[in-house]
Amino acid sequence: METKQLALITGVGKATGIGLEVARQLAGMNYRVIITSRKQETATQLAGILISDGLDVVPIALDVTDEPMVKAVADQINQQYGKLDVLINNATLFPDQYDTTSVELADIRNVFESNFIGSWSTVKHFTLLLRKSEHPRIVNVSSGSGSFGGKGYSLVNPWRDIISAYSISKAALNAFTLKAALDLKPDGILVNAATPGLTATYDTFSDFGSRPVSEGARSIVLAATLPKYGPTGQFFKDGEVIAW
């Protein structure tokens, strides 16, 4: 069985995204990191950036909405490494500004498939591997825009008009985090949600006071590296528990 700590991140689809920076930071902490994106060539190209810096990164294609593919990747990791220590559900369709009454229901379904059901699917199929870890952790990458009681932007204090399927899918992801944390507690698997905060992964975000990708990613890494028997069923930002 693999002796290094092994992490898998979903939705590592672009060089400026949070997923790749999370991979960089974890690999810098001596993790082997499997980065996954919908297309193999994207995963390979992005992994190449970190590999050329001497980091231990493995690219695999994974579309989280494709359940047979999720299961196949879990089987592949089981055969190659025999376990998984950290699962980070980062994949997201973003942003959307759907109006309640003019929205196409197909668009809502797509957002929920990627952001919510896709995360449930990876938890479902990777839990077998996480159970083989001595210190298993799941991080569901959420958003303050999906919180009910958070300070700053939230469901009740929306940022611009982006408070539609995206934010509501993150509220569902938060609820799922609570459920999975309870179900997986007997296995010692920590299940938490974490938000990077408004982060400069899109050019326009800098107009709204976004912070650097390294800082947003750090918030996710802190939740992914919680100590054994650490908190579970919580929502974190920068290592601090925040309101659902």
- Catalytic residue numbers read 166, 170
Q: What is the nearest approach in angstroms of ligand NAP to the Cβ of residue 80? A: 20
Amino acid present at 84: L
Q: Applying CB under 6 A, which part among 92-100, 122-130, 131-139, 183-191 lies near ligand NAP?
A: 92-100
By C-alpha distance, which of 172, 162, 39 is closest to 117? 172
Angle at 57 between CA 79 and CA 226, to 5 degrees: 85
Shortest distance in whole angstroms from residue 194 CB to ligand NAP = 9
Q: Which is nearer to ligand NAP, 10 or 192 (CB)?
A: 10
Decide: is 173 part of the binding site for ligand NAP (CB under 6 A).
no
Quick one: DSSP state of residue 88?
Answer: E
- For residues 209-238, which are near ligand NAP according to CB under 6 A? 210
Q: What angle do CA 138, 27, 82 make, to 5 degrees?
A: 55
Q: What's the token pair of residue 200?
A: 């400069």
Amino acid at 85: D
Q: Which stretch binds ligand NAP (CB under 6 A): 72-80, 88-96, 125-133, 229-237?
A: 88-96
Reading phi first (left if > 0) and then psi (alpha if -120 to 50, else beta), residue 229 is in left
Which of the stretches 87-95, 130-138, 175-183, 231-239 binds ligand NAP when contact is defined by CB under 6 A? 87-95
Q: Is 198 in the site for ligand NAP (CB under 6 A)?
A: yes
Q: H or E element: which one contains 87? A: strand 86-89
> For residue 4, what are the contacts with CB-CB under 8 A and spacing of at least 6?
30, 31, 32, 56
| Consecutive H or E run containing 149 | none
Q: Which residues are bridge partners to 33 per DSSP?
A: 7, 57
The only residue of 64, 73, 84, 87 in contact with ligand NAP, by rule CB under 6 A: 64
Interface pattern 106-135 for ligand NAP (x via CB under 6 A): --------x---x-----------------
Stretch that binds ligand NAP, among 43-51, 62-70, 72-80, 153-161 (CB under 6 A): 62-70
Using CB under 6 A as the binding rule, whether residue 91 contacts ligand NAP is answered as yes
Q: Counting contacts by CB under 6 A, is residue 143 touching ligand NAP?
A: yes
17 contacts ligand NAP (rule: CB under 6 A): yes
HEC profile for 184-230? HHHHCCEEEEECCCCECCCHHHHHHCCECHHHHHHHHHHHHCCCCCC
Asked if 94 touches ligand NAP (CB under 6 A), the answer is: yes
Of 24, 32, 38, 83, the one binding ligand NAP by CB under 6 A: 38
Q: Which residues contact ligand NAP by CB under 6 A?
A: 10-11, 13-14, 17-19, 37-38, 63-65, 90-94, 114, 118, 141, 143, 195-196, 198-199, 201, 205, 210
